[in-house]
Amino acid sequence: MSSTRPILISVHLPKTAGTSFQDSLRAAYGERLQLRYEERPLHRGVRERQRRVVLGALQHAVFGLQDDSADCIHGHFLPASYRRIRGRSPVRYVTWFRNPVDRLVSHYHYWLRSYDPARAGTLHRQVVEENWSLEAFALAPALRNLYSAFLWRFPIDRFDFIGITEHYSEDLRYFSEHLLGQPVPEARNNTSPDGGESSERIDGELRQQIEEHHRKDMALYRQALESRAARLDVQKN
């Protein structure tokens, strides 16, 4: 039987304030929030990652969710797995973007300080144990265009909301008012100890190299910024 309860699909792109956002979602949804972090897309090959998405999309379209009590799903997964969910309508999709260069810097330092060899994926172990530099990390083929990899077969305009991490407080208020219809507390979790990772100095030539290497993600980020600017214009008028 179909349900008229809307379901929120929240895609946590790594190091875009998704852990803080999770706490706000928990305040809104409580036990109806389901976390999905077991997929670990970055630690799977491209073909395996995409195969799992196709199978997941088929499962959700035919059988629906395993736990129909969930009204919000949040975690590291590809949203194409939830393109259609049998028995649930409407479905709303949300995520957060961050400047790709700053996101890479934050991701690099987070992996260094959070390393646990017993739990780390293959790529994480390689980065730490081979003592990769920030440049090697940022230009690694396996980490190229992370946003684009997560959004495989899922156009950016299918999102009902894309927050910009650099405007976190303001965009969270918009999300609360226009998508949730209720205020939620603003949390600040999983940030760097000194708060300075994203502002680490990168010389102009390296920044240009990184932006070129991740040009698809830079284009997506600019598109998200343009969408946000249009949204602000509508609010003003």
**Residue 199: pLDDT above 70?**
no
For residues 45 and 129, the answer to whether their CB atoms sit within 8 Å is no
Distance from C-alpha of 100 to C-alpha of 146, rounded to nearest angstrom: 9
Q: What's the pLDDT score for residue 115?
A: 97
Average pLDDT across the chain, whole number = 92
Alpha-carbon span 18 to 123, nearest angstrom: 21
Reported as a single tens digit per residue, the pLDDT across 180-189 is 999 999 987 7
What is the number of H-type helices and E-type strands within the chain? 9, 5
pLDDT of 198 higher than 90:
no
Q: Is the pLDDT of residue 2 over 80?
A: no
Instruction: Report, as an integer, the average pLDDT of 67-82.
Output: 96
Q: Is the dihedral of CA 92, 98, 104, 106 positive or negative?
A: negative
pLDDT of residue 11: 98
**Residue 123: per-residue pLDDT:** 93
For the chain, the structural domain boundaries read 7-236
Q: Which CATH number fits domain 7-236: 3.40.50, 2.60.40, 1.20.120, 3.30.930?
A: 3.40.50
192 pLDDT band, cuts 50/70/90, is low
pLDDT band at 194 (very low <50, low <70, confident <90, very high): very low
